[in-house]
Structure 1
């Protein structure tokens, strides 16, 4: 009985101290690791918002320069027709104008907006786009737009005729714009970019569809989130987006939701390692204490 009392007197405090140290290390290191991960995620989300600004500024610059270029081409065609109106009378001359402009189709209307001359004969008799009708009376009018904003594969430019009232409507296939816009494509924003070692970055639209993702194969796919998950302008929550429990940090920016996801196994990797080492050290101390008590008891018995 005396032996067990001595064991308890030494081992019980040692074990309790070890458990207290493990519990404190588990909690304190976990809080620090979580805060550190969230701080790094917030910094990365801010960087992503800055990149979006830079991309949109680049896109605006590309479009502004392209607008000036294509409207200048249209005005040059208008001036050439004004100088030599007979250019409209033969298909060959019209075709040469089209080549000079680098256009797909050139159409010229009368004062009613009805196309009278065109490099595409099937359009003769059609009306020019309503957006270009002000050019009939406004000699300095010039406008452009993409019929399909999603693809931007066709560009229409309208400018005023200078030789008489009417509209010059030119159709372009702006491959140069498409190539330049690809370099400023939002889908490439975080393509291939990891967060820490195993985390991911993504940009969601208003329906929570991926507009950009670390894994480019997911671009355009529906994310595992719903709009209700992102109730505030910024925040974090826990989720299992791909069968792995993860910390999800987000930030709303313009019409996008920027998301940073990091598996909890990485968030708490340092804590788990530290606790394992402390557990091993605690076990060693307990064994040492037990060995010392046993040795002391043996000596007392002798």
Structure 2
């Protein structure tokens, strides 16, 4: 009984101290690691918003320069027709105008907006686009637009006829714009970019579809999140987007939701490692204490 009391007097405080140290290390290191991960995520989200601004500024500049270029081409065609109206009378001359402009189709309307001359004969008798009708009476009118904003593979430019009332409508295939816009494509914003070691970055639209993602194959796919998950302008929550529990940090910017996702196994990797070391140290301390008590009892018996 005396021997057990001596064991208990030494080992019990040692074990309790070990557990206390382990619990403190587990909690404190976990809190620090989580805060550190959230701070890094917030910094990365701010960087993403700055990149979006830069991309949109670049896109705006590209479009402004392209607009000036294509509208200038249309005005040049209008001036050439004004100087030599007979250019409209033969298909050969119209075709040469098309080549000068680098266009796909050139169509010229009368004062009712009905196409009377065109490099595409199937369009003769059609009406020009409603957006270009003000050019009939406004001699300084010039406008452009993409019929399909999602692809931007066709560009329409309308300008006023100078030789008489009417519209010159020109169809372009703006391959140069497409190539330049690809370099400023939002879908490439975070493509191939990891957050820390195993985390991901993404940009969501209002329906929570991926507009950009670390893994580019997911662009356009529906994310595992719902709009209700992002209730504030910024925040964080826990989720298991791909069968792995993760910390999700987000920040709303313009019409986008910017997201950082980091698996908890990486968030708490340092804590888990420290806890294992503390557990090993505690076990070693307990064994040492037990060995000391045993040696002391053995000497006392002798």
TM surpasses 0.5: yes
Per the alignment, in what secondary structure is the counterpart of residue 79 of structure 1? helix
* In structure 2, C-alpha distance between the alignment counterparts of 1:271 and 1:95, rounded to whole Å: 74
Per the alignment, in what secondary structure is the counterpart of residue 12 of structure 2? helix
Q: What's the offset of the Cα at 1:194?
A: 0.1
* In structure 2, C-alpha distance between the alignment counterparts of 1:219 and 1:157, rounded to whole Å: 32
* In structure 2, C-alpha distance between the alignment counterparts of 1:230 and 1:86, rounded to whole Å: 63
CA deviations on 1:46-80 (whole Å, 9 max, x unpaired) are: 00000000000000000000000000000000000
Q: What's the offset of the Cα at 1:248?
A: 0.2
Q: What's the offset of the Cα at 1:236?
A: 0.2
* In structure 2, C-alpha distance between the alignment counterparts of 1:168 and 1:58, rounded to whole Å: 30
1:122 is matched with 122
* In structure 1, C-alpha distance between the alignment counterparts of 2:239 and 2:123, rounded to whole Å: 57
CA deviations on 1:210-232 (whole Å, 9 max, x unpaired) are: 01000011011111001110000
Per the alignment, in what secondary structure is the counterpart of residue 77 of structure 1? helix
In the alignment, structure 2 segments of 5+ residues that lack a partner are none
Q: What's the offset of the Cα at 1:206?
A: 0.6
* In structure 1, C-alpha distance between the alignment counterparts of 2:204 and 2:214, rounded to whole Å: 12
Q: What's the offset of the Cα at 1:199?
A: 0.1
1:7-18 aligned within 5 A: 7-18=7-18
1:22 is matched with 22
Per the alignment, in what secondary structure is the counterpart of residue 147 of structure 1? coil
Q: What's the offset of the Cα at 1:273?
A: 0.3
Q: What's the offset of the Cα at 1:26?
A: 0.3
* In structure 2, C-alpha distance between the alignment counterparts of 1:4 and 1:62, rounded to whole Å: 84
2:158 is matched with 158
Q: What's the offset of the Cα at 1:21?
A: 0.2
* In structure 2, C-alpha distance between the alignment counterparts of 1:34 and 1:250, rounded to whole Å: 15
In the alignment, structure 1 segments of 5+ residues that lack a partner are none
2:281 is matched with 281
* In structure 1, C-alpha distance between the alignment counterparts of 2:33 and 2:298, rounded to whole Å: 47
TM-score relative to the length of structure 1: 1.00
CA deviations on 1:2-60 (whole Å, 9 max, x unpaired) are: 00000000000000000000000000000000000000000000000000000000000
* In structure 2, C-alpha distance between the alignment counterparts of 1:108 and 1:217, rounded to whole Å: 45
Q: What's the offset of the Cα at 1:153?
A: 0.5
* In structure 1, C-alpha distance between the alignment counterparts of 2:129 and 2:217, rounded to whole Å: 39
* In structure 1, C-alpha distance between the alignment counterparts of 2:165 and 2:206, rounded to whole Å: 46
Per the alignment, in what secondary structure is the counterpart of residue 139 of structure 2? coil
Q: What's the offset of the Cα at 1:155?
A: 0.3
Q: What's the offset of the Cα at 1:264?
A: 0.2
TM-score relative to the length of structure 2: 1.00
Per the alignment, in what secondary structure is the counterpart of residue 232 of structure 1? coil
Q: What's the offset of the Cα at 1:133?
A: 0.5
Per the alignment, in what secondary structure is the counterpart of residue 258 of structure 1? strand
Per the alignment, in what secondary structure is the counterpart of residue 159 of structure 1? strand
Q: What's the offset of the Cα at 1:280?
A: 0.4
